[in-house]
Each structure stands twice: as structure tokens, then as C-alpha cells.
Amino acid sequence: MHLTELSLLALAAKLADKSTTSVQATQAALERIAQVQPHLNAFICVDEEGALAAAKAADERRCQGQARSILDGVPVALKDNIFAKGLQTTCASRMLHNFVAPTDAAVTSLLREAGMVLLGKLNMDEMAMGSSTTSGFFGPARNPYALGHSPGGSSGGAAAAVAARASWAALGTDTGGSIRQPASFCNVVGLKPSFGRVSRRGVVAYASSMDQVGPMARTVKDVAALLGVLAQPDKEDVLCCPRAGGSYTQGIERGIRGMRVGLWKESLEGADEEVAARVREAAKACERLGAQVVEVSFALSRLAPLAYAIVSAAEASSNLARFDGIRYGHAHVGAQNLRELYNKSRGEGFGQAVKNKLVLGTFVLSAGHYEVFFERAAQLRTLLCEEINRTLQTVDVLLGPVAPTPAFALEFKPTPAQSAALDSHTVLANLTGLPALSLPYGFSTAGLPVGVQLMGKAFEEGCLLRCAYALEQDSPSFQKAPAL
């Protein structure tokens, strides 16, 4: 088997028994990137020199019996809104196309401390605002299972790279489903941890009360192993959990007998029939594996996309105000006054999707509109938290679709209503801060991947991963690689 076909933990085992080296694995990944990049446009930059140097250092540590972790020497890639010292961090925007990160993000430092090798930075929707990875300055990414289709977004480059065997794993960010939806579209596992489980220091902010960094990989155990690396306290991120998460692979094989799984009724109502069928199959599998499946209803969940649209736009308007051509970002040359500098720098630097989001955010925060829009959205968010937490007192995990349809065509331009529908099953986890995972669970009749979503209680990722692992082992054929 070619090295790039191995799972992350399978490669780690080969590195441990010295049947391969990190340099060999890294070279294999770089060759695979060169092969698929012209088709997928998954990477924004590839750090070949830095990756090979890090791989050589990892091999030397292994030879000396000083491996930093079980993942020492395993290559990984980063979404391009996560800082890596000395590498571009563009957020796929002209506004930051020349920006080089002066330091590592907290998660990047943790990967380096574990000895992992950074391959490069991954394509995304501009400023993480999108669900298709088509809005960025560096062009659209493509789905390795169907090149004419979207890989999802905004972490579409990450999902495409992992699915195409160009990286064993990747880190993405999830504000409204940006890890889970592309994971579903590209047949990989994607986890949005609980809000605060993973530090966000050094990650370019979109909507600060919902942004979360998480791992994407080919198997549930791979994701669990990466979460163990990432889930560490960070005193410089005041919202980061002060306790380490521990091992997430330990106990993952215990099965789900006796577990209560809630089948989310409203999430099935707007889903494509093929997607709904996969979810029902997963529910039957849970019962076959010994869990009790009960139907649960969240009456307010239909309003979640509305609350998300308002809160995310308002927070984006505040966070992106720093990109003005003076302190940060692209600066227009030849402006005659400050207003012209602001207007032209931001007009040239941001794409239309980002501009639309900023206009909406500024509007809902303005005098006379704050109470009508933002305040009410915040109140609705509180009610959503109360409703879902009441339900989670009676079940262990929630089951539903990740997205209402499989991957859509690249040329598809959703209306605002369609955009809300695309996020309708994922935004609830962001508004409530709960952990949620996308698990590959079959294919449509057109051969497009379909994922199911599991959502759990806050800071109980272990239970979520245990359920996902049981379903994965019940249907391992769903890990089929793309024909690319």
C-alpha cells in the first residue's frame, strides 16, 4: 500500500516501528500534492523546504529514541486562517495576500511540539465566510469525488486535501459548519470541538463567539488522536478551557450498547431524500449496535439560521474593522484623504461575499437597529441553548444530517434563503457551543459522498467519538477513496 493511502495512526505506527521514515512520508505527500493540486486547487502555499527539514529532524529524534509523541513525524496541513510562523496567512483574501505570520497560532505550536510536519496552507472561502470554497482570491477548490462539484466550505481545501490523500490530516475552523459540511461533501471525518476546548489564539477571527478550530482526517481514531494534541489549556486565550482534554482514543472502542441516541426530527424535514435515508440507516445501525434511538424535536431550531446570520455578521463587522489599509491589510495607493483610503483599500481588498456580510453586520449593530435585530438574535440564541440542553439531559448524542444535500455544482450560486438552508443543520452546534462531528456514511446515486452528523454534550467529545467510531466500524466501506 502506498504511504499516502495509510490513515494517520497507521502511518504513525510505521514510523514507530521504523518500517518507513518521516522524510519518505513527507516526500510521498509532496509528490501527491504536485499530482492533485492542478485539479483540486486545495493548497494556497506548500512549504516543501520547511516540511522536509522538519521531517528530517523527526527521523533523527526517532533514531535517538526521543520521539515527542506517537504522531512525531506525521505530516499535516493548515487552513489558511491559522498562523504558522514564516508562512503566508491570507485567509484567501486579497486583503492579506502578502501577509506572513510573525508567530505560530497556539494550535500550530502544539502540532510542532508533538513533532508533526507542516506541509502548507489550505484554500478556503474568503475570510472563512462561505460554504463552497469558491469565493477566495486564489480561485475555487474542487471536490476530489467530482471535480465539477464544490468541496464545501469554508474549510474546503482542507477536506479536499485529506480526501485526495494529499495530507493525512488537516486543521480547519468551524463557525457555522465550516469543518463538518466540507467533511461530509468529501467523505472525511470532521470534528468541531466544544467552544473553548481548543485555543483560538493566532487564528484570524470571523465570529468570535462561535469560531472553533478542529481536526479533519480519514478515520474517527485519527481525529481523536489529533484532538488529544489540540485540547490543551492556553492562558493567553481567556475562553479556552483551563483543563487539558486528555486522551480521546482511550475507551473509544467500548461500543454504544445502552447509549441513548436522539434522532433530530426537524433536521430531516428539509433534507434531500437520499441524505435522509442515510441518516435513517445510521439510526438503525445504532439500534443494531445496542443503543436506544428516540425521536427528539427542537421547535426553535428552524430559527437558528436566522440567529446565526445576524450574530455572525455583527461579529464579523467588528472583527474585520481592523483591516483598513493602515493597521493591517491591502492599502490603496494614491488616496487623497483618509475616507478614500478606507473605502478603496477595503473595496479592493475584500470580495463581494465579505462585503455583503460586513454591510449586514454594520446595519444590525447601528443605532435604531441593534435592539430590533442583534439583541433579539442574542435572546433567541439563549432560548436555543436552553432547549437543546434540556433534550441532552435525556439523550447522549443527537443524530441528523450534516447538509441537506450532497455536494452541489461549482457554478451553483445560492440565494440567501438557499444559503440559510445549507447551514440549517450545522449552525445550532455553533450557537450553543456544543461539539459536533461529521461522519462519512455512504454515497448518493450520483456517487457523491453523504455524511451524518452527531452532536453531543459540552466537553463530552469522548462520548461523541465513541458513537462515531462504532458506526464507522459497522460500515468501513464508506471510507472509499476518490478515483482522482
> pLDDT tens, 15-32?
999 999 999 999 999 999
Domain that holds residue 186: 3-259+395-413+427-479
Residue 484 lies in a domain: no
222 and 118 assigned to the same domain: yes
In terms of Cα–Cα distance, which of 118, 5, 18, 100 is closest to 67? 18
212 and 311 assigned to the same domain: no
Q: Rounded to 10 degrees, what is the CA torsion of 182, 187, 189, 195?
A: 20
158 and 228 assigned to the same domain: yes
> Pairing between strand 75-79 and 436-443?
unpaired
133 and 177 assigned to the same domain: yes
pLDDT at 400 over 80: yes
| 256-291 pLDDT, tens digit each | 999 999 999 999 988 999 999 999 999 999 999 999
192 and 128 assigned to the same domain: yes
307 and 352 assigned to the same domain: yes
| 180-207 pLDDT, tens digit each | 999 999 999 999 999 999 999 999 999 9
Residue tagged active-site, from 93, 150, 154, 155: 154
According to the model, what pLDDT value does residue 95 have? 97
pLDDT at 416 over 80: no
Residues 6+ apart with CB under 8 A from 28: 2, 3, 4
According to the model, what pLDDT value does residue 425 have? 94
According to the model, what pLDDT value does residue 341 have? 92
Extract the C-alpha cell encoding 133.
Answer: 470554497
Instruction: Report the domain count for the chain.
Output: 2
Residue 180 lies in a domain: yes
Handedness of CA 153, 422, 256, 258 (dihedral sign): positive
Question: CATH no. for residue 82?
Answer: 3.90.1300.10
**198/212 Cα distance (integer angstroms):** 7
pLDDT at 1 over 80: no
Residue 32 lies in a domain: yes
According to the model, what pLDDT value does residue 479 have? 85
216 and 319 assigned to the same domain: no
pLDDT at 440 over 90: yes
**321/464 Cα distance (integer angstroms):** 37
The DSSP-derived string for 225-270 is HHHHHH----TTSTTS-SS----SSTTTTS--TT-EEEEEHHHHHT
Residue tagged active-site, from 79, 121, 357, 457: 79
Residue 289 lies in a domain: no
**274/404 Cα distance (integer angstroms):** 9
According to the model, what pLDDT value does residue 460 have? 97
According to the model, what pLDDT value does residue 270 have? 84
* Predicted model pTM: 0.97
In terms of Cα–Cα distance, which of 189, 213, 210 is closest to 107? 213
- Decide: 481 and 414 in contact? Cβ < 8 Å: no
What value does the CA radius of gyration of the chain take, rounded to a whole number of Å? 21
Cα angle: 106, vertex 110, 111; to 5 degrees? 120
Q: Average of pLDDT values for 141-154?
A: 98
Strand order in the sheet with 75-79: 43-46, 117-122, 75-79, 169-173, 213-217, 189-192, 436-443, 449-456, 397-401, 260-264, 292-296
Strand pairing partners for 203?
82
Percent of the chain's residues with pLDDT above 90? 94
- 178 counts as catalytic: yes
7 and 124 assigned to the same domain: yes
| 295-332 pLDDT, tens digit each | 999 989 999 999 999 999 999 999 999 999 888 899 99
Residue 274 lies in a domain: no
31 and 95 assigned to the same domain: yes
Residue 308 lies in a domain: yes
Residue tagged active-site, from 150, 167, 178, 301: 178
Extract the C-alpha cell encoding 232.
Answer: 490543551
pLDDT at 415 over 90: no
**Mean of pLDDT over the chain:** 96
Instruction: Count the alpha carbons within 13 Å of 375 in the hemisphere toward its beta carbon.
Output: 7
122 and 75 assigned to the same domain: yes
| 30-89 pLDDT, tens digit each | 999 999 999 999 999 999 999 999 999 999 999 999 999 999 999 999 999 999 999 999
Residue 387 lies in a domain: no
79 and 121 assigned to the same domain: yes
108 and 240 assigned to the same domain: yes
Residue 155 lies in a domain: yes
- Decide: 129 and 158 in contact? Cβ < 8 Å: no
